[in-house]
Structure formats: C-alpha cells, structure tokens
Amino acid sequence: MPTAETNAQTALDALASGQHGDPFAMLGIHVLDGVRSVRTLQPQAEAAWLLDRKGNELAPMEKVHPGGVFVAPLSGRYRHYRLRIQEPGGRRYDIEDAYRFPSTLGDLDLYLLTEGSHQEIYRTLGAQAQTQLGVKGTRFAVWAPNALRVSVIGDFNGWDGRRHVMRLHPGSGIWEIFIPRVSGGDKYKFELLGTDGRLLPLKTDPMAHYFEPPPGNASIVYRSAYRWKDKDWMRQRRSDTGMDRPVSVYEVHLGSWRRKPEEDNRALSYRELADELVGYVSDMGFTHIELLPPTEHPFDGSWGYQPIGMYAPTHRFGEPDDFRYLVDACHQAGIGVIMDWVPAHFPRDEHGLGQFDGTALYEHEDPRKGAHADWGTLIFNYGRREVINYLIGSALYWVEEFHIDALRVDAVASMLYLDYSRKEGEWVPNEHGGNENLEAVEFLRHLNIVLHGRGATTYAEESTAWPAVSRPTEAGGLGFTFKWNMGWMHDTLNYIGEEPVHRKYHHDKMTFGLVYAFNENFVLPLSHDEVVHGKGSLLGRMPGDDWQRFANLRAYLGFMFGHPGKKLLFMGAELAQSREWNHDASLDWHLLEHESHRGVQNLIKAMNRAYASLPPLYEVDFEPAGFEWIDWGDRDNSVLSWIRRDRKGRPVICVSNFTPVVREGYRLGCPEPGQYLEALNTDRTEFGGSGVGNPEPVEAEDQPMHDRPYSLCLTLPPLATVFLTPE
C-alpha cells in the first residue's frame, strides 16, 4: 500500500514532468509539514531565493526534486512574495510567481460560460490584460473539458509546458491562469495532454485577437489602444436597417484590390487602404464596402473562407488597431462596413479547432455530421451550447469591438441541410426523419436576434428555396435582414451570355426573378464567385465584338440598378476587368487608360449617383407596390420595360434593349402626363457608348398603350438601359 511519502514523491514527479493535472494544489503558498511555505517549479533554475515584495531576500529555496521543484518557508506576516532565479551560467532575474494569484474568473462568468449564454465571452476567455494584487499581467482562459492538462507556453517561459499549467474549473471545462508581466506582443500557444495522456499538437488560442504569420502560427497577446471617432455614425446605425435606403455594395478582397509592384508586389496595409480604398469607394458613390472574410486564416487561397481565428483580423495587413482605423475611416466617410463571416466550417490545420482537446470538441464526432467532403473542412457542432456561445461571441466581437455594421453569413445552405452535397447514406436525418439541420436553424435565429439587438444587420448567402430567410423569427423566419438573390444572378448572367439574336428564346430568364422578388429582402449580387474558377470576368461573358461586349455589360448593369433589390458588385467590375480575378495580383488598374474601360467606371459612378438620388429605385425594394411591368413580353425585340415607385408613388421608368438594334419610335405606356427626362442612359458617349438616346424631354402623348392612358415615343439605344423621370 503506498505510503504518504510515496504519494508525495509521485505527485512531485508528476509536477516536474508536466503530468500533474492540478498544480495549484501543490504550488504557491501551502502548509508543508506544519510550516507555511512556498513551493515553486522552475525547471530552468539552478538555484532560487524567496523575496519579499520589495525584492529583499527572505530565504534560499531548497531544491527538493531534480526536475526543478524548490521549497522555502514563508513567515506568516508576509502575504506577497517574489522569486529570484539563477540559471546555469550564473544569470539571475526576479519573477512573480503565477501560483500565488487566485482565480480571476467569477462565479457568474463560469455559470454563463457553462450555460453557453455569455455575450461577452471575448472579454472572459482568451488572453485578457489584468492587474492582480498590484501586478500587471495577462489572464489566460480556454475551454478544453476533456484535456488532462493545459499549459500556456510562450516567449515568456521558454515554450516549456511544465511552467504554467493552468487551473481547471470543474464542471465548466474552463482552464485559467494569471501570468504576471506577460504583456502585449508576447507570443503564446496552448499545450494540452489528451485523454490518453499524450501531448496533442500545439494549439493556437480559439479566442486570440492577433496571430503571427505561418509557419509559426502563434497567438499574440494584444492590447488595443484605439480611440474611435465615429460616435455619430454608431448612434444613427442603431435605428437604421437600410431597407428603405440605397444600398450599393463594393465587395473587396483586401489583398488584391491594389498592390505595390515597386515593393515586391506587396498588398496595401489596413492604414493604406483607409487612405486609398475608402476615398475611391466614396468617389465612386458606393454606400457600403463588403470585405471578404478578414478573419485570420492560414491559407491565402481560401480568400479567408476557411478561418482559424474567429476573433482576429488577419495579420496580413497590420495589427487589429490598424483594422479598426480602416473601419473608422469608412464610417467617417459615410460608408458602411459589411464583413463576410464564416460560422459554417473551419479548416483541419492541426493548430486550429479540430480535435482541440483530443476529442471532437467544436466539430461532430460523426463525419456524416462533422465533415465537409467538398471543402475538406470540419462543421461546427450547433447542438453544443459552448460552440454556439463561441460563434455568437465572435459575431458580437466584430460588431462591438470593430464597429462592423453587418455580417454577411457565408454558406448558409450548407448549414441548413444535413444532406448538403451528400449522397444517400452519407448523412444522418434529424429527429423527425428530415434533412433540415434543426440545431443550425436555431443558431441562425438566435444569431440574428442578438445582432439586430445591437444595431447590426445581417445578410444570408443562401442559394436554395428555404422559406422566410429574411423574415422575422417571430413569424417563423430565420431573421436575416437581407438574402442574396443567387437565382437572379445565375439566370440573368446566363441570359446576357447569349448572342442577342438568341435572347428572345431565353426572355423568361430576365423576368422570372419578379415572380419571387418580394418573397425575401433580396440583394442582387454580382460577387467574386462569378469571376473565378474558369467562369471568366463579367466582360468576358459578354458576346460579340469589343463594342458589343462593353455595351452588353453596361446594359446589364443598368438593368441591375433598375431591378428591385439592393446592389452588390465585386471589385474590378467597374474597370470592366478582362481577365478572371486572381487573389495574388492587383486589379488591372492600367485598363483605365482605355476609353472603353474608363467608360464603364464612369457609368457605375453615374449609376450610384442616380440610384442614391432617385427614391423610386430603392425606397420600396421589397414590396410589390414598388414595381410594375410596362411590358415584360416583348421577347421578339428583347426589350423589357417597367416602373419603379417610391412611397409617394413617384415613378422612374426603366427600359432595357438587349439587342444591338436602334429602335426608333418605340412606344410604351406611361403612368401620367407631362414631360420625361433621361436620368440615365448607358449608351452615352462618356460611358463608351454611341450617344443614341433621347437628349430632349419626351412628352407623354394622350395615346393609350400597355393598359395605360398615356404613352411615350422613344428612341431606344442599342444594347442599353435607360431611366426616365417625370420633369
């Protein structure tokens, strides 16, 4: 039978080897053999001394284990102490002992974390700057319920997992330790022992605010010192969803918008982007910037869609406060910021979330639920309250700490369907036998409720017919503010890719979107996904000779701006980029030397201005009252005409001619008498067009047409869209 002495030696052996699961039970101040003493583990030390808080030596410490365990008595009148360490070679330095500090996690924090309802998890877990007992340092906390031991390792302890083993809070699975004198800029990781007692691959902090570049991939302690200047913007955003306002979004991949070829083709920094990108977007008239995921990600080629740091702006363009500077600059210029956010899946990189504590912690154990075969990634377990807390906390972190105005949630369809991209037998039905992921549905509803409560808006990238994606949760919807209209995008791009002579056979592709246009709060996206993977650029999809290709593109963009729904263009569309987007290269800004490309840029600038100045084009986007066809059936001429109205019923007439034929004397009904002016014509010479149109006011004639008492006799320019407004 083991003796007390044997047990004590076993505990010391475990402590010195880094196998002890509760070092706080042995280190720090304890009564040993009836004497109040300090025990410390310093495996790097040759000798150690106990000091008072002023640095005066109280006693040399006895080395009681060859692995670096030292002990010395501490007089009862001393509440605080320090340590002096001597390494082999004679180097001496003084340290604070992490094991003299009590836990800094309160009962309420632990309760909320266990319940999965802590809405400021980003202030609790991870690396938090604190001052304890008058000493500055960092409190580390991480969720790893199945680990036998968790240590913080870093620059400050020689990356030695024995020196700062964390305290486990039973019942919550939270490990925590306050490490004195650890400050901003220090690198760290977590070292874990799995359930089998083996060391796991070193893990970065799931809550890290900053990362070092690969291959190191360490988390970095970060202290924000940023002072925001967007108080007025933040005040007004709480009451403005943007549903009845113009929303024209410029979608941006920060690493390839513009580069510095003279500096080894480097990307612009966050602060350079704040100066150059924000000014450009403002000048172009866009109302919002949407950022491809700025969250930290290990692989450039994922464009950010395989995040590994859900609480960290990528290191690629600067520090987190530099990213704050970029967002602040947008707000001061009157530009909203949308960021792509990816709660659907995460990569398998061994330093990330996968098998975090040796078990399927953030993902499902069953690959039929937990793995994306298409993407080689892992799926979050939406049935686990701690995982939901982690994801909701991430969303709130960006909204609160970085003043992000909206999240565009990526790959929603993959979250909603258990059989997404899976064959029979490769998925597990829900409790009712269906293919709906009920846990993901509840997560998305909860996410939208929480974010709307903070004044943020949400966009769903959802490509199926799932009902009520952008309807309130109390009405049974998912609760998103807006939904991307993927069907409109695919149908209309297919149409515009046809030769004009064949378009009359595909006319319904341009009209079908109006059958369901008001079922959701739609955004019309011409996104990055449409200019990669062999699809070519938008310009490259247009048929005909060079003149027709540019004219087709201009007419199509005009059709988009006249169609119900908010607008989104991926960067480069305004340049009429000729080649596919390449994330490793700058946009082809040199194309603006050519009049045709410069004309498309001028058009988009003019359309943004017209769009923002004409309430009928945006005020009633999501109700039938904001739209009516004049003639949807002129397929033989490939002409579409319709009316947009604002809340007061004021009209804008929109006409698109998708053939290269000038149509003189084209008559269409109009809603009221008077003169009508061209507010926009995509065929104007400043846009690279031929200059055909209606330069003078057109009088509505008392001649019924299209079930209306009046009509206009127009000249329709070739391959062009025209907007007309009452004088």
Q: Can you give the CATH number for the domain in which 148 is found?
A: 2.60.40.10
Which residues lie closer than 8 Å to 515 by C-beta, 6 or more apart?
none
The domain in which residue 25 lies consists of 4-100
Which of 290, 410, 520, 683 is the catalytic position?
410
* Side-chain-side CA neighbours of residue 696 (13 Å): 3
Tally Cβ neighbours within 10 Å of residue 7: 10
With respect to residue 164, please indicate whether it lies within any of the assigned structural domains. Answer: yes
CA dihedral 116, 121, 125, 127 (to 10 degrees): 170
Query: What does the pLDDT read at residue 21?
Result: 83
Question: Do 660 and 718 form a contact (C-beta atoms < 8 A)?
Answer: yes
Report which of 97, 81, 114, 76 is spatially closest to residue 24, judged by C-alpha positions: 97
Is position 424 annotated as part of the catalytic site?
no
Which residues lie closer than 8 Å to 422 by C-beta, 6 or more apart?
368, 373
Residues 207 and 121 in one domain: yes
Residues 43 and 116 in one domain: no
Instruction: Collapse the DSSP code of 306 into the 3-class scheme (helix H, G, I; strand E, B; otherwise coil) and give the result.
Output: coil
Residues 125 and 203 in one domain: yes
Residues 93 and 162 in one domain: no
Residue by residue, what is the 3-state secondary structure of 362-422?
Answer: CECCCHHHHEECCCCEEEECCCCHHHHHHHHHHHHHHHHHCCCCEEEECCHHHHHECCCCC
Is position 410 annotated as part of the catalytic site?
yes
Q: Which residues pair with 653 in a beta bridge?
A: 643, 724
Q: Total structural domains in the chain? A: 3
Residues 131 and 87 in one domain: no
Query: What does the pLDDT read at residue 466?
Result: 97
With respect to residue 516, please indicate whether it lies within any of the assigned structural domains. Answer: no
With respect to residue 471, please indicate whether it lies within any of the assigned structural domains. Answer: no
Q: Please tell me the distance from the alpha carbon of residue 651 to that of residue 645, in angstroms, as a whole number.
A: 5
Residues 636 and 720 in one domain: yes
CATH number, domain containing residue 672: 2.60.40.1180
Which of 461, 462, 491, 574 is the catalytic position?
461
Residues 633 and 713 in one domain: yes
Residues 642 and 701 in one domain: yes
Q: Which residues of the chain have pLDDT under 70?
A: 1-6
With respect to residue 631, please indicate whether it lies within any of the assigned structural domains. Answer: yes
Which tens digits make up the pLDDT trace of 482-513?
999 999 999 999 999 999 999 999 999 999 99
Q: Please tell me the distance from the alpha carbon of residue 606 to that of residue 681, in angstroms, as a whole number.
A: 10
The strand pair at 266-267 and 259-260 is best described as antiparallel
Query: What does the pLDDT read at residue 1?
Result: 47
Q: Please tell me the distance from the alpha carbon of residue 399 to that of residue 403, in angstroms, as a whole number.
A: 5
Which tens digits make up the pLDDT trace of 412-443?
999 999 999 999 999 999 999 999 999 999 99
Among 45, 79, 100, the domain-final residue is: 100
Residues 641 and 706 in one domain: yes
Among 196, 220, 244, the domain-final residue is: 220
With respect to residue 46, please indicate whether it lies within any of the assigned structural domains. Answer: yes
With respect to residue 400, please indicate whether it lies within any of the assigned structural domains. Answer: no
Residue type at position 285: G
Report which of 561, 567, 657, 569 is spatially closest to residue 616, judged by C-alpha positions: 561
**Cα angle 706-711-715, degrees, rounded to a multiple of 5:** 110
Question: Do 606 and 685 form a contact (C-beta atoms < 8 A)?
Answer: no
Q: Please tell me the distance from the alpha carbon of residue 629 to that of residue 633, in angstroms, as a whole number.
A: 9
Residues 214 and 162 in one domain: yes
With respect to residue 269, please indicate whether it lies within any of the assigned structural domains. Answer: no
Residues 146 and 203 in one domain: yes
Residues 136 and 212 in one domain: yes
With respect to residue 458, please indicate whether it lies within any of the assigned structural domains. Answer: no
Among 78, 100, 122, the domain-final residue is: 100
